[in-house]
Amino acid sequence: MKTAISIPDDVFADAEKLARSLKKSRSQLYSHALREYVARHAADQVTEALDRVCGEAPPADYDFARAAATRTLRRSQW
């Protein structure tokens, strides 16, 4: 599907550079970026992913990870 959008000049220039460096067309770059953005912000997909992770059995190194996370959180300012 073709569409027209308006974006700031600096964003366009950065996208052009990135497309060239990745050897992708502008359409491929924009399509990939938009697909990733939508996936990251789709509430249902985020909820489903969290449900899957929470439903899994703890990994073998769970105790180590929990202790490391606890130490990190204690040192962090909220």
Taking residue 24's Cβ as centre, other Cβ atoms within 10 Å add up to 14
Per domain, the residue ranges of the chain are 9-75
Q: Which of 62, 76, 25 shows the shortest CA–CA distance to 53? A: 62
Q: Model pTM greater than 0.75?
A: no
**pLDDT 10s digits, 47-69:** 888 888 877 777 777 788 888 88
pLDDT value at position 78? 65
The 10s digit of each residue's pLDDT in 6-27 is 999 999 999 999 999 999 999 9
Give pLDDT, residue 49: 81
